[in-house]
Structure 1
Amino acid sequence: MAARPIVIAHRGASGERPEHTLLAYSLAIEQGADFIEPDLVPTKDGELVARHENEISGTTDVAAHPEFAARKTTKTIDGAKVTGWFTEDFTLAELKTLRAKERLPQLRPGNTKYDGQAEIPTLEEIIALAKAAKRRVGIYPETKHPSYFASIGLPLEATLVAKLREAGWDHADAPVFIQSFEVANLKKLKGMTRVPLIQLMAASGAPADGTEPSDAAMATPEGLKRIADYAAGIGPERAMLPDTSLVADAHAAGLKVHPWTFRAENYFLLPAYRATGGPAGHGRLTEEIAYFIGLGVDGVFSDYPYAAVSARAASVPAPQPR
């Protein structure tokens, strides 16, 4: 069992506030998260902002802005056609005129009361929020679609590293992890920063940059050894862990294991932890997280940081004062 798994607030406390907003990140810090997670995408003028996807119609009120109606378009992102409005077609100043909204209103109707209250935050604003906390709080940024953005002249890596350097967080002991589903992106970052890197992987699929045949191949002992050449750990989809040796194999390769994503709604929970109330009903999230902590993971991503903090407290003795 890991000595004290870290709690990573997935897009902030996104189970209780619209994701990737300062509202969600602030609540996550209040709930005891060790890290807050911004997914990073660029603006037209090269700034980094926090959105789960560069297509923003599901997380902002952009569709209600007639001045931006003509910017609705269709693009191919990582091989899939997507229609909507994209951050790379807006300057930061233009994005700041939009307001965030709940992405999953059917599952999280209570969050809709916060619609319209928050802007799209920049990476600098998120770093400042973390630094203002009364205890040590870090950030865990994900570079979204890095090969796509490089292909349109908006590479993420140099800007991200520069922002971390400005914050004094470009060193091995900084409270930062950088994560990506792609491989070449992380290998490039390996030569640019000493911040630890995390290779994300899903139960199905493959890196969009074509560097590996599948995420499953990366999860083999041989694949994990390859990852250890450039990363400090893996972020596997949690479905990849039960009844497998992935945690042990990763640890044998010298890698940390930070699975994603733990959510309270029945729709997301493993069947054993669901409760009555339909897909939006809340089941036994703390118990599910405790089960995974028992598998020996080194951290967890959760939309409900308080549940992860509670599960950790019940599963792992608090460190003794020196």
Structure 2
Amino acid sequence: MTQAAPPAGAPSVLLIAHRGASGERPEHTLLSYQLAIDQGADVIEPDLVPTKDGHLVARHENNIAETTDVVAHPEFADRRTTKTIDGATMTGWFTEDFTLAELKTLRAKERLPQLRPGNTAYDGQATIPTLDEVIALAKAASEKTGRTIGIYPETKHPSYFASIGLPLEKRLVDALQAAGWDSAEAPVFIQSFEVENLKAMHAMTRIRLIQLVAGSGAPADHAAPSYAAMMTPEGLKAIAAYAYGIGPERTMILPASGTPTSLVADAHAAGLRVHPWTFRAENFFLLPAWRRGTDPAAHGDLAAEIRTFIDLGVDGFFTDFPAIGYEARETARPAAR
């Protein structure tokens, strides 16, 4: 299948709400997604993991120890366990050990309370949303606002979940098809840090696919020796055979040194769009040029950082702060709007 151009009327630089408006509400909650929509996001991003009974839910990780109140539920104390996932050993509570009904008894909480203490005011106010609930929210918001709100789901740890009998790909594609989304014009992008599951979905759907890459390491499915090898001109051409674009860690485009790389130009030469991640307002996350002061939780000039990347030619960007992202795009070069 050939990946098509963006739908007519779509913004030339896509504003992707990373885990919703996660800088201002606990991540991956309907509260966070709704605020992102209100702030002008084009698409909302649910990371997807499965439940024991096969439902897809929105969590950045299947370990929910840091993002829910599960520790306060004595009825689930015996679910605490240690697992090795993609080479990392961790202890906690995992979505694949809970039914959806059990997960719905939990409440979400802020993952970064030291950096985002204001978000803790919303702890306990939201449940873990299902993919179907996220789709319904996007569709309802599209109807209400008159603008198309899309979704940008990520398949988390696909090889691991396939190994335990809970593969993600067909579940995701089936849910999108049920929503009427099965074309390159649908307001959907599917992303993954692995390769083989994207190739599998390339044969299953015409929805646009995004190959995520990090500044170090390699895909967990061992499909390439390193992410760096995938970002060579030859590697980018190989990605273009199954994907619409790439989602690189932003320092792969502009390192802390301040000297841009050729990645955007190389990707465009291969016919790929470029959606870097993740733009956050706190000094702790900002590149050095845009930090303000020494408090890691204080906000620097995120809008200026985003505008710099727009000037470098990116086609979209992931941000925890959609309101700032919207303002940055509106004050960037006119072609971005």
TM-score normalized by the length of structure 1: 0.97
Corresponding residue number in structure 2 for 1:41 = 49
Tell me how many residue pairs correspond in the alignment.
319
Structure 2 partner of 1:137? 149
Q: Percent identity?
A: 74
Aligned to 1:10: 18
Given residue 324 of structure 2, which amino acid in structure 1 is its aligned partner?
Answer: A
> Match of 1:197, SS?
strand
Pick aligned residue for 2:316 from 275, 299, 313? 299
Q: Structure 1, residues 125-145: CA drift from partner, whole Å, max 9, x if none?
A: 000100111121000000000
Please state if 1:285 is matched with 2:337.
Answer: no
Match of 1:181 among 188, 193, 203: 193
Say whether 1:168 aligns with 2:180: yes
Amino acid at match of 2:181: W
Q: Which amino acid aligns with 2:97?
A: D
Q: TM-score, normalised by structure 2?
A: 0.93
Runs of 4+ in 1 over 4 A off after TM superposition: none
Distance 1:108 1:267 in 2: 11
Match of 1:32, as an amino acid?
G
Shift of 1:4: 2.3
1:159 aligned partner: 171
Note if contact 1:302-1:308 (Cα within 8 Å) is conserved in structure 2.
Answer: yes
8 Å CA contact 1:102–1:115 kept in 2: the answer is yes
**Map of 2:5 onto structure 1:** none
Contact 1:4 1:312 in 2 (8 A): no
Secondary structure of the structure 2 residue equivalent to 1:301: strand
Q: Is the contact made by 2:16 and 2:42 (CA closer than 8 Å) also made in structure 1?
A: yes
Structure 1, gaps ≥5 residues long: none
- When the two chains are superposed, the root-mean-square deviation of aligned CA atoms in Å is 1.3
Tell me the SS of whatever aligns to 1:41: strand
Matched with 1:198 is 210
Query: 1:67: how far off?
Result: 0.2
Question: Aligned with 1:225: secondary structure?
Answer: helix
Structure 2 stretches of 5 or more lacking a match?
1-9, 255-259
Query: For 2:16, what is the secondary structure of its paired residue?
Result: strand
Q: Alignment partner for residue 229 of structure 1, among 227, 234, 241?
A: 241
In the other structure, the counterpart of 1:109 is 117
Match of 1:260 among 277, 289, 297: 277
Following TM superposition, by how much is the alpha carbon of 1:317 offset from its aligned partner in structure 2, in angstroms?
2.1
Once the two structures are TM-superposed, the CA of residue 318 in structure 1 deviates from its matched residue by 6.9
- Alpha-carbon distance between aligned partners in 2 of 1:310 and 1:46, rounded to the nearest angstrom: 39
Q: Distance in 2 between matches of 1:237 and 1:317?
A: 25
Counterpart for residue 148 of structure 1 = 160
Q: Counterpart in 1 of 2:68?
A: 60
Return the alpha-carbon distance in structure 2 between the equivalents of residues 318 and 191 of structure 1.
33
Structure 1 SS opposite 2:334: coil
Task: Compute the displacement of 1:316 (Å).
Answer: 3.2
Q: Residue by residue, what CA displacement relative to the aligned partner does 1:21-72 show, whole Å, maximum 9, x if unpaired?
A: 0000000000000000000000000000000000000000001100000000
